[in-house]
């Protein structure tokens, strides 16, 4: 049987358990040209909150009754495609379920001997690509500049900071909790990290970014974005990667201090990682190289079981996790 | 005697009459290398509201007791500088006063036979340069794109729209009042204009920008910026020129819909016209050419008398004017 999570209703605010429906159906059969993948790990990302809103966005919303969209990595258990071998591992958009049908298109083979499987949906997957292209293409950090990143202990922010260090920047993180701040400074090599739960963020930025902020990589929006705007340098770049503080808000808030962009001739720019698909392979090779050299570290928080999807998903918003959030499938 | 307006106190919210002090002093005498300019016209601009706040900005705030900063154009009445002739006209930062001391630096001679004097502090002055560089360098309009501009009947917006037309764009304005909308469509050649006082701006944008918005040149901020954000195209550019709706607000509001930047891979970017000073001459020559060809029209709203500065200044915020606001000095 294939256990799966489908969208039961569109939530308002923080999704309740009734947002989802857990059901079972027979494992699908491969038709000619297809193969069946048994899911090993499911990627849980803040962007998923946006996909269940019925609004125009960069991809169509998940429809009521559809399997919840998610990046996955898994192993081939049956194949009627000569190019896809049983036993091999693939990553793609498998959704929140135990089995899925795959074909060549949109799926990429991965090698579990080169990196642990969860890394392929983390640092070498969408979150890693998001960090790489958002920082390099939109943020454009230069040697000696200061890069500030929120969600610093998360799947994207932790990679942004490490790449910025590799590029010769001073890197300051913002994260929620002493354990996260300690992790990004002691394990990932950030120069400093501000604990927004206990510190005044604006003062923290002033203290730890004495030369101002050249790139602020924003994963959170809200008050932290406003605090960052008060400390940007002339010509600063603010890649808008996400706004987790706003995703469940029924009264969303814009950056009140956005006129700092005018005063500082700075820009705030959005991006969508899917636009860089043709360059993913090159980026993953470069990042893989950094991982082998020990310059780029991955940290996953792994929970288990499709039936625990809802509780695990909520950890994205409560912050009760450290690193990339992954659901292991039995 | 030299009548002048100095800053009496820093206002909170909309400046009251007590913000300013009107006083007289003897007309200054030129020292060696200097000349005395009798002010003909004073430029009144929304940016002046920012200059009297005591906050870090792109230029130092006007200090209490100082003559209010303003662009001016005037005639030389006395000279002890061999390069500056009595009777010639100059433009520069003369401030809100009847006479000022000038030297070579920061002042530019203008020819009243080529264009009316107010044009040199309007279309061929800072507002025109702001329109030119904000649109061309930050907005980067391409032939066939749609350019939306707020404050469309104002000193900057009216020029932005006309340049965008010259560059082959569909141009839609947003302005406050039927007379202003009629002016920009019938006199200045905009394709359409939305009257934000009587129309639903979001619906108006949808109607008049059927292919979406590629460049939104923002002079106003607030709800209109939020409305524009809902209709931007992929890769849109939003030059942040000003935010007149926010300048007197004691509870400023950020753009709630800023995540549209993410979805649409768009950017919002601030700029300061002073950064383009070295290219002003080239731009003014190009714009002068367009004026001679009848492609670029100037409209000034002229009030008279230094003693009417305060009431005239308030017209910037009430919108009770049409075109570039100028104070004629007796």
Chain A 61-100, CB below 8 Å of chain B: which residues?
none
Q: How many CB pairs under 8 A join A and B?
A: 98
Is the CB of A240 less than 8 angstroms away from the CB of B262?
Answer: yes
Interval A150-187: pLDDT, tens? 999 999 999 999 999 999 999 999 999 999 999 999 99
Distances (CA, A) of B325 to A42, B4, B11, B116: 61, 18, 21, 14
Q: Of B14, B311, B316, B327, which is closest to residue B154 (Cα–Cα)?
A: B316
| pLDDT digits 0-9 by tens, B117-142 | 999 999 999 999 999 999 999 999 99
Report how far residue B146's alpha carbon sits from residue B133's, in angstroms, rounded to the nearest whole number.
18
Q: What is the tens place of the pLDDT at every residue in B54-80?
A: 988 889 999 999 999 999 999 999 999
Measured between beta carbons, the chain A residues lying within 8 angstroms of B254 are: 226, 253-258
Of B246, B259, B261, the CB nearest to A269: B261
Cα A5 to Cα A17: distance, rounded to the nearest angstrom: 11
Measured between CB atoms, does A60 come within 8 Å of chain B? no
Q: How much is the pLDDT for A104? A: 82
Tokens of B161: 């729209």
Please, where are the H alpha helices in chain B? 47-51, 126-133, 157-166, 178-182, 201-208, 222-229, 260-263, 280-292, 309-318
Cα→Cα distances B165→B136, B153, B160, B324, Å: 12, 15, 9, 19
| Radius of gyration (C-alpha) of chain B in whole angstroms | 20
- Following CA atoms B209, B214, B220, B225 in sequence, which dihedral angle do they give, to the nearest 10 degrees? 80
A269:B267 CB<8 A: yes
Contacts of A275 in chain B (CB under 8 A): 265
Interchain contact A323–B (C-beta under 8 A): no
Q: Does domain A2-122+298-328 have CATH number 3.90.180.10?
A: yes
B174 DSSP β-pair partners: B150, B194
% of chain B surpassing 70 pLDDT: 100
DSSP B69: P
pLDDT at A241: 97
* Average pLDDT of the segment spanning B276-300: 95
Element (H, E) at A227: helix A222-229
Residue B250 near residue B238 (C-beta atoms within 8 A): no
Residue whose pair of structure tokens reads 């992790």 in the numeric block:
A183
The CATH number for A126-274, chosen from 1.25.40.10, 3.40.190.10, 3.40.50.300, 3.40.50.720, is 3.40.50.720
Would you say the pTM of this structure is higher than 0.90? yes
A265 touches B at CB < 8 Å: yes
| Contact flag B259-A221 (C-beta cutoff 8 Å) | yes
Q: Which residue has the tokens 């090993």?
A: A40
* Residue A107, both tokens: 């799926």
pLDDT, chain B, mean:
96
- Chain B contact present for A284, CB below 8 A: no
Whether complex ipTM tops 0.90? yes
Residue in chain A lying closest to B56 (CA): A263
Flag whether pLDDT at B104 surpasses 90.
no
pLDDT at position A105, please? 87
Over the Cα atoms of chain A, what is R_g? 20
Find the mean pLDDT for residues B103-115: 92
Pairing of strands A324-328, A35-43: antiparallel
Given a cut of 90, whether residue B330 has pLDDT beyond it is: no
User: What mean pLDDT comes out for the span B162-172?
Assistant: 98
Q: What residues 161-180 of chain B have any CB closer than 8 A to a CB of chain A?
A: none
Per-residue pLDDT of A272-318, as tens digits, reads: 999 999 999 999 999 999 999 999 999 999 999 999 999 999 999 99
The residue among B173, B176, B197 whose CA lies nearest residue B187 is: B173
pLDDT-derived band at B91, boundaries 50, 70, 90 = very high
Token digits for A275?
């636009």
Which two three-digit tokens encode residue A252? Answer: 């969303």
The pLDDT of residue B105 is: 86
Which residues in chain A come in under a pLDDT of 50?
none
Q: Domain coordinates of chain B in residue numbers?
A: 2-122+298-328, 126-274
C-alpha B55/C-alpha B18 separation (Å) is: 20
DSSP 8-state secondary structure symbol assigned to residue B73: E
């Amino acid at each position: 049987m294939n256990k799966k999570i489908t969208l039961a209703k569109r939530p308002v605010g923080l999704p309740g358990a009734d947002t989802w429906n857990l059901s079972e159906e027979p494992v699908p059969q491969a038709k000619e040209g297809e193969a069946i993948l048994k899911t090993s790990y499911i990627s849980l990302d803040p962007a998923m909150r946006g996909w269940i809103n019925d609004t125009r966005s960069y991809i169509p919303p998940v429809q009521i009754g559809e399997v919840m969209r998610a990046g996955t990595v898994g192993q081939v258990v049956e194949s009627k495609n000569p190019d896809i071998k049983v036993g091999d591992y693939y990553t793609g958009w498998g959704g929140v379920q135990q089995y899925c049908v795959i074909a060549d298109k949109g799926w990429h083979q991965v090698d579990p001997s080169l990196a642990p499987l969860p890394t392929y949906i983390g640092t070498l997957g969408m979150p890693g690509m998001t960090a790489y292209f958002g920082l390099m293409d939109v943020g454009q950090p230069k040697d000696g500049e200061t890069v500030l990143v929120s969600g610093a202990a998360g799947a994207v922010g932790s990679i942004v900071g490490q790449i910025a260090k590799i590029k010769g920047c001073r890197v300051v993180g913002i994260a929620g909790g002493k354990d996260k701040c300690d992790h990004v400074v002691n394990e990932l090599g950030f120069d400093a990290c501000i604990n927004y739960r206990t510190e005044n963020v604006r003062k923290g930025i002033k203290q730890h970014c004495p030369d101002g902020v050249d790139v602020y990589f924003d994963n959170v929006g809200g008050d932290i974005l406003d605090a960052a705007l008060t400390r940007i340098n002339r010509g600063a770049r603010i890649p808008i990667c996400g706004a987790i503080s706003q995703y469940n808000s029924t009264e969303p808030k814009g950056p009140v201090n956005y006129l700092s962009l005018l005063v500082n001739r700075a820009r705030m720019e959005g991006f969508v990682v899917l636009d860089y698909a043709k360059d993913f392979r090159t980026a993953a090779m470069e990042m893989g190289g950094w991982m082998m050299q020990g310059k780029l570290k991955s940290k996953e928080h792994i929970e288990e079981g499709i039936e625990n999807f809802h509780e695990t998903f909520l950890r994205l918003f409560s912050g009760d996790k450290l690193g990339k959030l992954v659901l292991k499938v039995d």
